[in-house]
Amino acid sequence: MKRITLIAIFIFVCKCLIAQTAKPNPFAIASKASEKAPENYLAPVIALQAINLKDADRGALDTWYQALITYQSFLGDYKNVLFYNDKRYEYELAHQKTQIDTAFIKGHEFIKAADYLILKAKTEQVMMINEAHHIAYHRAFVISLLKGFYNAGYRYLAIETLEDSLINQKKYPDGETGFYTREPLFGELIREALKIGLKLIVYEPEQECDNKSSDPNYCSNFRDSLMAVNLKNILQKDPNAKILVYAGYDHIYEDNDDGWIKMAQNFKRLTGIDPFTVDLVKQTEHLLAQLNTKEFNAVNRIAHIKEPVVALQNSKPWHGDFVDATVFFPEYLKETARPSFYSLGGLRKPYNLTIIGVKPGQFVQAYYSAEKPGKRIPADQMITSNTGSQLLYMFNGGYEIEVKDKNGTLLKKKTVFIK
pLDDT for 385 equals 85
**Arithmetic mean of pLDDT over the chain:** 93
Confidence of residue 275 (pLDDT cuts 50, 70, 90): very high
If DSSP codes are grouped into helix, strand and coil, which group holds residue 244?
A: strand
What Cα–Cα distance (Å) separates residue 254 from each residue in 6, 125, 250, 282?
27, 16, 9, 16
pLDDT at 15 over 70: no
pLDDT for 68 equals 97
Cα distance between residue 81 and residue 339, in whole Å: 13
Helix axes 263-271, 218-237, angle to 10 degrees: 40
Cα distance between residue 119 and residue 152, in whole Å: 8
Q: pLDDT tens-digit profile of 282-316?
A: 999 999 999 999 999 999 999 999 999 999 999 99
pLDDT for 20 equals 42
Kind and range of the H or E run holding 109: strand 109-112
pLDDT at 81 over 60: yes
363-368 and 397-404 beta bridge pairing: antiparallel
Confidence of residue 185 (pLDDT cuts 50, 70, 90): very high
What's the mean pLDDT in 250-268?
Answer: 97
Could you tell me if 301 and 266 are in contact, meaning their C-beta atoms sit under 8 angstroms apart? no
Confidence of residue 4 (pLDDT cuts 50, 70, 90): very low
Q: CA nearest 386: which of 359, 405, 350?
A: 359
What's the mean pLDDT in 257-284?
Answer: 98
Confidence of residue 90 (pLDDT cuts 50, 70, 90): confident
On the CB side of 304, CA atoms within 13 Å amount to 1
pLDDT for 10 equals 43
Cα distance between residue 251 and residue 258, in whole Å: 13
pLDDT at 14 over 70: no
pLDDT at 267 over 80: yes
Structural domains present in the chain: 3-92 (no CATH), 102-334 (3.40.50), 348-418 (2.60.40)
Segment among 8-22, 99-113, 288-302, 392-406 with least mean pLDDT = 8-22
If DSSP codes are grouped into helix, strand and coil, which group holds residue 390?
A: coil
Share of the chain above pLDDT 70, in %: 94
pLDDT for 21 equals 45
Per the model's pLDDT, the better-predicted residue between 187 and 97 turns out to be 187
DSSP 70-103: HHHHHHT-HHHHHHHHHHTTGGG-TT------HH
Segment among 15-29, 191-205, 395-409 with least mean pLDDT = 15-29
pLDDT at 149 over 90: yes
pLDDT for 246 equals 98
pLDDT at 387 over 80: no
What's the mean pLDDT in 3-26?
Answer: 50
Cα distance between residue 58 and residue 334, in whole Å: 31
Query: With DSSP H G I counted as helix, E B as strand and the rest as coil, what are the percentages for the chain, rounded to 5?
Result: 40, 20, 40
pLDDT at 11 over 60: no
Total-model pTM: 0.93
What's the mean pLDDT in 71-90?
Answer: 94
pLDDT for 113 equals 98
Confidence of residue 96 (pLDDT cuts 50, 70, 90): confident
pLDDT at 13 over 60: no
Could you tell me if 70 and 80 are in contact, meaning their C-beta atoms sit under 8 angstroms apart? no
pLDDT for 95 equals 78
